[in-house]
């Protein structure tokens, strides 16, 4: 691991962030935008996992074994994958951790890993969105099975109802975007992930961003929450 330093683009002290929020809250979109603007490392745990499996790393092989058996990847393997990525020059620019932790034991394990390397989180940013808005966002998502183009009602609709603009294929909805499934996912989120909010609130680093705004307004609120200017 490296010492925290100056952000090369902004001349600001690097900031280490963790993004929290239910599925459909827009945290991934905002993480990409912020990381690009500030030159930070975006650590999407889903991407990290897929990359490690693809590259055949030791931890990637371990993770792949669990995945092939239809089992969850153990917390210590996920922590190891994150640790490897952060050790690859990530801390001199700051980082955004997106998609982990999902449970309280994971949050505690993550704190332990950071502590071993004298690293601290500056902010845990909670993207707050109502349940009805989450359902509206996710149940309105459709995709083209041929070219994988994405559509979202009512924000980005195809020119012809139910057909892809690019190749005319019939659009489909992913099974986990069905309204009943979305509401079940939100219940799981409440039970498993909401305690993490209290965990970071007790550490006095939790900040809430109202995410039921336009993406640009959410981004401006995010910058204010972490002490950056647009």
Write phi, then psi, for 24 (nearest 5 degrees): 90, 5
Q: Which residues are identified as catalytic?
A: 27, 102, 141, 174, 185
Pick from 126, 125, 151, 127: nearest CA to 137: 151
The Cβ of residue 153 has, within 10 Å, a number of other Cβ atoms equal to: 14
Torsion angle (degrees, nearest 10) of CA 60, 63, 64, 68? 180
Task: List all residues 6 or more positions away from 109 whose beta carbon is below 8 Å from its beta carbon.
Answer: 75, 76, 79, 101
């Amino acid at each position: 691991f490296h010492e925290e330093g100056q952000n090369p683009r902004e001349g600001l002290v690097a900031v280490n962030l963790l993004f929290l929020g239910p599925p459909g809250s827009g945290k991934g979109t905002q993480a990409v935008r912020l990381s690009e603007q500030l030159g930070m490392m975006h650590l999407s745990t889903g991407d990290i996992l897929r990359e490690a499996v693809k590259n055949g790393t030791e931890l990637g092989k371990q993770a792949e074994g669990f995945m092939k058996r239809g089992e969850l990847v153990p917390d210590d393997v996920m922590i190891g994958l994150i640790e490897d990525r952060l050790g690859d020059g990530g801390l001199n620019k700051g980082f955004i951790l997106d998609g982990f932790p999902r449970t309280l034991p994971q949050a505690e394990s993550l704190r332990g890993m950071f502590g071993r390397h004298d690293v601290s989180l500056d902010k845990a940013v909670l993207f707050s969105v109502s349940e009805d808005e989450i359902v509206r966002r996710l149940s309105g998502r459709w995709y083209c099975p041929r070219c994988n183009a994405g559509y979202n009602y009512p924000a980005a609709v195809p020119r012809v109802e139910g057909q892809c603009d690019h190749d005319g294929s019939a659009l489909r909805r992913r099974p986990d975007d069905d309204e009943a499934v979305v509401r079940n996912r939100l219940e799981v989120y409440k039970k498993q992930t909401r305690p993490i909010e209290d965990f970071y609130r007790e550490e006095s680093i939790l900040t809430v961003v109202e995410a039921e705004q336009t993406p640009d307004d959410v981004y401006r609120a995010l910058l204010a929450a972490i002490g950056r200017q647009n």
